[in-house]
Amino acid sequence: MTHSSTPPPERIPSKGVSQGTYTDTLERSTGRFASFAVAFAFVSIATGIFTTYGSVLKSSGPLGIWTWPIVIVGQLAVALLLGALAARIPVTGYAYQWVSRLANPILGWITGWISFTFLAIVAVAVDYTVAATVVPALFDFTGTALTSFLITAAILLLQGLLVAVSTKWTERVNNFAVSAELIGMVALVVLLFIVGVFTHKLSAGNLFSRGDIPAEGYWNFGTATAAGPWMLGFLLGAFTIVGFESAANLAEETKRPEVVVPRAMWQAVLASGVLGFLFLLVVTAAVNDPTALAESGTPIADVIRDILGSFVGTALLILVAIAIFACGLVIVMSGVRLTWAMSRDQRFPGWQALHKVSPRTKTPLNATIAMTTISAVILGVFSTSTDALFILFSAATLLPAVIYAITVALYIAKRRQLPQSAAFSLGRWEIPIIVVAVAWLVFALSLFRDASFRQPWLYVLVMVAIGAVYLGYLLITRGRDGLKMPELRSIDTELDQVSGARGVAEDVPQ
């Protein structure tokens, strides 16, 4: 079918687990920019580049930045495939909902649990960055494990309070932060280029330098337990360009989600990719000593200060702090929505309380408390480790790759059975996009064979084991039939049914 000029209804009931429909209890008020801002804030190039640039200089040298365009192409392909699913299954819970319907409720539950595991730890990872690097640099003090723990806990609490109190204000704060990040990053690229050219501080040779990384074996794929030096550079983009699907986790709160959500996802990846690469090029060209810079806790800020002065360098740190706060805020909100969605299906521990929406705030208040508390516990577990930041970021890079691989594999297997959607279709580009996405995900997962990811893999296995225990409990108490999910349905059919139902209701005499 094709959409008429009449806008679709604001509320779209989705087929439910046992009753026939979900009760649409969340307000549908999220617009196009807010949806894009959610996806863009989660990706947050300011957060990702600021956090991992030094690691890339150590592992791959400045030449490692050229892995970024490849990551963008791969992740854009993944975003387009996930967008095709989001247009057809616009229900809060994203990968959990998609896999439950494409495969079966058991694999769907596992994917949902892995997604929750990712969101719980990445919230800590990004907030920990503010505490461990940004705040000490801003206020010129040496951070400790205790100060990092306390600052991170305070940020988590503030984010949790905002998400609990008001979705509208959460989106307003995020919209402001994303606008500031977009304007700030563009301004930095322009200023760095202009001032760098006039002061002769830009060197094109830096863009093709290995730093102090030996030439021998630099381009190798690596061994069974170690990735090659240049290959490790892919982690810069692999950590940064993730979370774009968070826009789909607010599908039931988004106006025209079948149109808005897929667009928000691929636009966030493309915008982040282009702007992020321009920033990487100009920053790397401005590096004076790559080897010395790699040892800094704030290498990006050091380069900015050298070219633009201490005032702009400090302004950058403030911008990064705002971007990281917004990133963590969106992650907490996305984790809350996933917890609420699984609880609504009676499939999350403590669902009896977590599926409720507060009549006063119109938010999943109990789910927000649970999400914030669990992230705080994870923070407590990792806060005593001297390598806490690396472990957190490594796990936060590994988990989305696993989630994307599961979802894309199922899309490939079930794509001919998917309901049609006039709002978003890949058309003749579907097969090329699938080829690119599969090649990228296979390569990305191969990077995590490196021995440095042993602890992140251990974390994943522990969390999966915890989830397996609860899944076993669900199967024993309810049986396989007790976990059934609704069939796949076309969003266009849903819209027609809602329009028809409203038309009938309007014709009934009062």
The DSSP secondary structure of 123-184, one letter per residue, reads HHHHHHHIIIIIHHHHHT----HHHHHHHHHHHHHHHHHHHHH-HHHHHHHHHHHHHHHHHH
Task: Indicate the length of the chain as a whole number.
Answer: 510
At residue 138, the pLDDT reads 85
Residue 10: the pLDDT is: 38
pLDDT at 43 over 70: yes
- For residue 432, report the phi and psi dihedrals to the nearest 5 degrees: -55, -40
Does residue 2 register a pLDDT over 60?
no
Contacts of 462 by beta carbon, 8 Å cutoff, 6+ apart: none
Token pair 């509320």: residue? 11
What is the reported pLDDT for 5? Answer: 38
Distance of CA 358 to the CA centre of its chain: 26
pLDDT at res. 484: 76
For 261, the enclosing helix (H) or strand (E) is helix 257-285
Task: Please enumerate in sequence order all residues whose Cβ is within 8 A of that of 28, keeping only pairs 6 or more positions apart, or say none.
Answer: 10, 11, 12, 252, 253, 254, 255
Start-to-end C-alpha separation, the chain: 33
In angstroms, the CA 502 to CA 510 distance is 14
For residues 85 and 407, the answer to whether their CB atoms sit within 8 Å is yes
Compute the chain's Rg from CA coordinates: 23
- For the chain, count helices (H), then strands (E): 20, 2
Tell me the C-alpha to C-alpha distance, in Å, between residue 84 and each of 79, 166, 355, 434, 494.
Answer: 9, 30, 27, 12, 16
In tens, the pLDDT along 343-382 reads 998 889 999 999 999 988 889 999 999 999 999 998 888 7
Mean pLDDT (the chain) is: 86
Cα separation, 379 vs 392, in Å, equals: 9
Residues 405-439 have pLDDT tens digits of 999 999 999 988 887 777 888 989 999 999 999 99
Average the pLDDT over 84-92 and give the result. 89
Strands (E), 226-347: 226-227
Q: Residue 300 CA to chain centroid, in angstroms?
A: 22
pLDDT, position 385: 67
**CATH class for domain 32-507?**
mainly alpha
Can you read off the two tokens belonging to residue 54? 């030094």
| % of residues, the chain, pLDDT over 70 | 89
Checking if the pLDDT of 31 tops 60, the result is yes
Question: Quick check: 32 pLDDT over 60?
Answer: yes
The pair of structure tokens assigned to 180 is: 């500031």
The CA dihedral of 352, 358, 364, 365, to the nearest 10 degrees, is -90
226: confidence class by pLDDT, cuts 50, 70, 90? confident
The span from the CA of 430 to the CA of 425, in Å, is: 8
Q: What pLDDT score does 233 carry?
A: 93
Q: What are phi and psi of 223, to 5 degrees?
A: -110, -170
Q: Under a CB-based contact definition with an 8 Å cutoff, are residues 87 and 254 in contact?
A: no
Report the alpha-carbon angle 496-497-502, nearest 5.
100
Whole-number pLDDT of residue 101 = 87
* Number of alpha carbons in the 13 Å side-chain half-sphere of residue 424: 25
**What are φ and ψ of residue 152, in 5° steps?**
-60, -45
Question: Residue 232: what pLDDT?
Answer: 92
Average pLDDT rounded to a whole number, residues 94-108: 89
**Rounded to whole angstroms, how far apart are CA atoms 285 and 209?**
10
Find where tokens 């990053």 sit.
185
- What is the tens place of the pLDDT at every residue in 117-154? 889 988 988 898 888 888 888 888 887 888 888 999 99
As a whole number of angstroms, the distance between CA 261 and CA 87 comes to 7
Q: Each residue of 259-308: pLDDT tens digit? A: 999 999 999 999 999 999 999 999 999 998 888 888 887 898 889 889 99
Q: What digits encode the pLDDT tens for the residues 443-465?
A: 999 998 888 888 888 877 888 88
Q: What is the pLDDT of residue 22?
A: 56
Q: Quick one: pLDDT at residue 460?
A: 79
In this structure, the number of other CB atoms found within 10 A of the CB of residue 210 comes to 16
Beta strands 226-227; 222-223: pairing state? antiparallel
Place 491 in a pLDDT band, splitting at 50, 70 and 90: low
Cα 27 to Cα 127: distance, rounded to the nearest angstrom: 28
Residue 35: pLDDT band with limits 50, 70, 90:
very high
Q: What is the pLDDT of residue 505?
A: 42
